[in-house]
Structure 1
Amino acid sequence: MSKTKRLVIIALFIAQATALNIVENFITLPIAVQGVKLGLANIITLLALLILGWKDAFLIVTLRCLLAALYGGNPVGFLFSISGGLLSTLIMVLMWKYLGRHISIVTISLMGAVGHNIGQLFVASLMIQDFRIYVYLPVLLVSALITGYIVGFVTTQTYNVLLKQNKQPF
């Protein structure tokens, strides 16, 4: 892949992830649990990891978090987003690198979702200076399993379509 093509794909992924992140803020889930989101931008993160590699996946997550915070005007939200996003990406990178041929994209997504919630909960515990907030972890883990499965399923389907169309994603 040429450098120009790679740069265009990275820019498109950043734009898509940022747009999904912003749109997701307007989606109201039918559950009254604070902090639970679908994590739609993670579809793009996982696709970036599969197609472009770990360095570009980290770049896309970092810029998506920064741009979404700038658009949303929420610096505290940035801390939660970047901590969850980077830990999630790290977990997915390690799983893909060391177990990728033995586990599914859905499993990688599930573990990334769990990591995302743990990263955010850690930042929250530091901000309020109280580790009792971890009693909230079981609720977040259940939501991570549901949303992680959805993200993993959509990513798998999208990746398979890209593979069929191009024999290589890009």
Structure 2
Amino acid sequence: MKPLYSCNAPAQSGATDTRRLVVLAFLVAVALVVSFIESMLPPAILLAPGAKLGLGNIAPLIALIILGVGDAFIVTALKCLLGAIVTGGVSGLMYSVPSGMLALAVEVLLFYTVFDRISVAMISLIGAIVFNCVQLGVASLVTGVNLLTLLPWLATAGLLAGAFTGLLAYYIVKRLPYSVYGGVRRSRD
């Protein structure tokens, strides 16, 4: 797979910084809107309570690919925080923040170490499974109930959702014009 593109190069002008901030704000807005719409839908798999496609996770993955690690974490943090405020589920922050941050950390690790051997869809798939595992672990700690019996169902949902969102992210990035991210090629050599 060819390396994708990045805006990780040092800023050379105010226009580059402005472009980065606009793309960052757009990705946060998209993640927030998609997450809000998705919160109103029934579970993706009936046997896995709360299972969603995780389409809002496309934005942090795109941010990782075109903007870099720091901006991907900013998108994830703002998606969790603003999503909790908009949906009124502020208590859900104790589930979404650790799950989202750890899943993104694993995606970052995979992206920078084995991306030349695996696809964006596989990175997203692994991130979705990590997200589900962490969320179940946190929920088990908070409730005092062993919820890990739901892991097979949520792992299945994570496999499907992660692969789907990874493919969407890949094709969105491939279709983005250079003007969105500055046209700076990412080199990992």
What stretches of structure 2 of length at least 5 have no aligned partner?
1-10, 183-189
- Does the Cα contact within 8 Å between 1:159 and 1:169 map onto a contact in 2? no
Give the deviation of 1:64 after TM superposition. 0.8
Q: Name the residue aligned to 1:125.
A: 140
With structure 2 as the length reference, what TM-score do the two structures score? Answer: 0.83
Q: Name the residue aligned to 1:40.
A: 55
Taking the aligned partners of 1:41 and 1:168, their CA distance within structure 2 comes to 19
Identity %: 35
Give the deviation of 1:169 after TM superposition. 4.3
Question: Structure 1, residues 31-61: CA drift from partner, whole Å, max 9, x if none?
Answer: 3231201100111111000000111000110
Equivalent position amino acid for 1:136 in 2: L
Q: Higher helix share goes to which structure? A: 1
Q: Name the residue aligned to 1:3.
A: 17
Change (3 A) 1:15 1:129: same
Give the deviation of 1:166 after TM superposition. 2.3
Taking the aligned partners of 1:3 and 1:99, their CA distance within structure 2 comes to 29
- Does the Cα contact within 8 Å between 2:121 and 2:167 map onto a contact in 1? yes
3-state SS in 2 of match to 1:101: coil
Taking the aligned partners of 1:146 and 1:8, their CA distance within structure 2 comes to 31
Taking the aligned partners of 1:135 and 1:103, their CA distance within structure 2 comes to 29
Q: What pairs up with 1:57-136 in 2 under 5 angstroms?
A: 57-130=72-145, 132-136=146-150
Q: Name the residue aligned to 2:3.
A: none
Give the deviation of 1:167 after TM superposition. 8.4
Equivalent position amino acid for 2:131 in 1: H
Taking the aligned partners of 2:166 and 2:77, their CA distance within structure 1 comes to 20
Is residue 140 from structure 1 mapped to residue 154 from structure 2 by the alignment? Answer: yes
What stretches of structure 1 of length at least 5 have no aligned partner?
none
3-state SS in 2 of match to 1:100: coil
With structure 1 as the length reference, what TM-score do the two structures score? Answer: 0.92
Q: Name the residue aligned to 2:166.
A: 152
Question: Structure 1, residues 63-116: CA drift from partner, whole Å, max 9, x if none?
Answer: 110001001111222221112211110110000011111110011010110111
Taking the aligned partners of 1:31 and 1:107, their CA distance within structure 2 comes to 20
Taking the aligned partners of 1:158 and 1:166, their CA distance within structure 2 comes to 12
Taking the aligned partners of 1:97 and 1:74, their CA distance within structure 2 comes to 33
Bigger Rg, structure 1 or 2:
2
The higher-RCO structure (CA 8 Å, 6+ apart) is 2
Taking the aligned partners of 2:20 and 2:100, their CA distance within structure 1 comes to 22
Equivalent position amino acid for 2:29 in 1: A
Cα RMSD for the two superposed structures: 1.6
Q: How many residues of Structure 1 are paired with residues of Structure 2 in the alignment?
A: 167
Taking the aligned partners of 2:24 and 2:179, their CA distance within structure 1 comes to 20
